């Protein structure tokens, strides 16, 4: 019975490319030409923030200048896409509430990009969104990514491990120091989730990493709340020169 319903659904809604809407055979979500236009990150990357680096990965730990100058409060970070071109429109659709179906393939790209980060008994936690923004957008895109990532990796996802205590203003256009100040004290561990976090490795999930200020606050909160190692996985990374 279920099989028949599934087949019927596929006949009415054949898989379409998330980039252009054309029919596609691929269950990875993109047609061939959109796939080629989407800037997936590959090759050598900064182990801390996931930004692509020139040269080739040779097995030694490499970091970008920023991460060497100001070490991140987490162990390793990865990102699936560069926040550019087609990736930008995909992420905006996901962020603004009209693309929840993007989350499943996006989480699959993240699972690939983050394959070196996964640890046994790791807890996946999204960067929290304030409830007032949640009302406007209908869902927290990072929580959606975390849930799909949990399903794909078999790791536990906890959508409300971290919460926003105050509504933080939009961070665009502020300097890194201003962002940090704004975020200070805005994020906290959910009091009822504290026990769940003790001694465990945490994978923080977000849609886009720009300076990493929000992720820094989240990582600090997790560390202060008794977590073990923190890792960071985002769908997209803003390259420094954009």
Q: How far is the CB of 67 from Zn ion (least distance, A)?
A: 3
Residues in contact with Zn ion, counted by CB under 5 A, come to a total of: 10
Min dist CB 166 to Zn ion, Å, is 29
Instruction: Write the DSSP symbol of residue 102.
Output: G
- Secondary structure, 3-state, 167-216: CCCCCCCCCHHHHHHHHCCCEEECHHHHHHHCCCCEEEEEEEECCCHHHH
Per CB under 5 A, contacts with Zn ion among 18-77 are 19-20, 31, 34, 46, 48-49, 64, 67
Q: What is the rounded CA–CA span in Å between residue 63 and residue 44? A: 10
Residue 17 makes contact with Zn ion by CB under 5 A: yes
Our finding on whether 90 is near Zn ion (CB under 5 A) is no
Query: What are the tokens at 165?
Result: 């205590």
Q: At closest approach, how far in Å is the CB of 89 from Zn ion?
A: 11
* Interface pattern 125-164 for Zn ion (x via CB under 5 A): ----------------------------------------
Which residue, 140 or 211, is less far from Zn ion as judged by CB?
211
Contact 94, 106 (CB under 8 A): yes
Owner of token pair 């990865």: 78
CB of 16 to Zn ion, least distance (A): 8
CB of 203 to Zn ion, least distance (A): 17
The 3-state DSSP class for residue 104 equals: helix
CB of 204 to Zn ion, least distance (A): 15
Is the Cβ of residue 66 or residue 160 nearer to Zn ion in the bound state? 66
H-only helix segments in the chain: 2-12, 32-37, 65-69, 85-95, 103-113, 131-137, 141-153, 176-183, 194-197, 213-224
In angstroms, what CA-CA distances link 19 with 14, 71, 90, 110, 202?
15, 36, 7, 17, 31
User: Of 90 and 157, which has the nearer Cβ to Zn ion?
Assistant: 90
87 binds Zn ion (CB under 5 A): no
* Closer residue to Zn ion (CB): 48 or 217: 48
Where are the strands (E) in 26-142, listed by range? 77-82, 123-126
Nearer to Zn ion, 19 or 159 (CB): 19
Q: Which is nearer to Zn ion, 86 or 164 (CB)?
A: 86
Q: What is the DSSP letter of 98?
A: S
DSSP 8-class letter at 101:
G
**Residues near Zn ion, by CB under 5 A:** 17, 19-20, 31, 34, 46, 48-49, 64, 67
């Amino acid at each position: 019975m279920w099989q028949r319903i599934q087949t019927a659904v596929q006949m009415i809604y054949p898989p379409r490319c998330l980039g252009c809407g054309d029919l596609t055979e691929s269950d990875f979500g993109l047609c061939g030409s959109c796939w080629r236009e989407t800037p997936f990150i590959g090759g050598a990357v900064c182990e801390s923030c996931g930004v692509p680096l020139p040269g080739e990965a040779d097995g030694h730990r490499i970091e970008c200048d920023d991460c060497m100058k100001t070490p991140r409060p987490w162990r390793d970070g990865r990102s699936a896409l560069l926040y550019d071109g087609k990736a930008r429109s995909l992420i905006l659709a996901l962020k603004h509430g009209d693309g929840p179906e993007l989350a499943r393939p996006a989480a699959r790209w993240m699972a690939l990009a983050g394959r070196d980060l996964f640890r046994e008994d790791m807890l996946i936690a999204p960067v929290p969104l304030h409830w007032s923004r949640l009302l406007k957008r209908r869902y927290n895109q990072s929580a959606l990514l975390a849930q799909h990532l949990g399903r794909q990796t078999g790791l536990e996802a906890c959508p409300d491990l971290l919460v926003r205590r105050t509504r933080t203003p939009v961070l665009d256009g502020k300097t890194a120091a201003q962002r940090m100040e704004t975020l200070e004290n805005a994020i906290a561990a959910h009091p009822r989730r504290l026990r769940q976090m003790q001694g465990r490795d945490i994978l923080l999930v977000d849609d886009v990493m720009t300076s990493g200020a929000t992720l820094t606050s989240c990582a600090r909160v997790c560390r202060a709340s008794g977590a073990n190692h923190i890792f960071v996985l985002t769908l997209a990374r803003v390259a420094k020169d954009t």
